[in-house]
A = this chain, B = another copy of it.
Amino acid sequence: MTTLIEYLHRTIAVSDRLQQEIDRITRQRTVEKGQYLLRAGERCDVLRFVEQGLLRGYYIEQEKEITNWLAIDGEFATSFYSFITREASTESIEAIETTVLSEIKYADLQALYRDFPETERIGRILTENYYIKLEGRLLASHFKTAKERYEQLMDAHPILLQRAPLGYIASYLGISQETLSRIRAQY
């Protein structure tokens, strides 16, 4: 279990006043396994942070579900595209496990950026970190074999492999479920 506020303290200096404001605009809640936090077509109006549990973001392409990301304890879980651009999301977000999360509304976050400019820094650093991760995924996708990508994930997030169904992981890695199953059989 990692709370949002712990995460923030690790990223920037949080003054008492800021702390209070964050507490005020943050809402904690629990969603049951199988519940949806966002449906494709809706606009994503909250920044979500997974304190404990597991969510997945996916969208439908050619009648197939494509898992775009998996967010586990201590990670943000928002349809970034929709949240940033303010357009309708093509992604849906579903709870794979019963999940405890903290949420901040878009408008509240913008006001926070305005009233506490130091929080722009959080937004920036956070996005920078996510950018770097994504870059790694892209390079892997282009130039690593399915097996190498699986091994990379095994190193980085071994827990994920135990908690998320195989099909979602395969889709996340950009390989078919059958291929992933065969890779796994080699061990």
Contact = CB atoms under 8 A, between A and B. Distances in A.
Interface of A: 61, 66, 68, 80-81, 84-85, 113, 117-118, 120-121, 123-124, 127-128, 130-132, 134-135, 137-139, 141-143, 174
A174 B134 contact: no
Contacts of A80: 128, 131-132, 135
Contacts of A132: 80-81, 84-85
With a 10 A CB-CB cut-off, give which of A66, A124, A135 has the most chain B CB atoms.
A124
21 contacts: A66-B139, A66-B143, A68-B135, A80-B128, A80-B132, A80-B135, A81-B135, A84-B128, A84-B131, A84-B132, A117-B118, A120-B124, A123-B128, A124-B127, A127-B128, A130-B131, A131-B131, A131-B134, A138-B138, A141-B142, A143-B174
Contacts of A123: 120, 124, 128
Contacts of A81: 132, 135
Contacts of A130: 131
Contact of A134 (B85, B113, B124, B134): B134
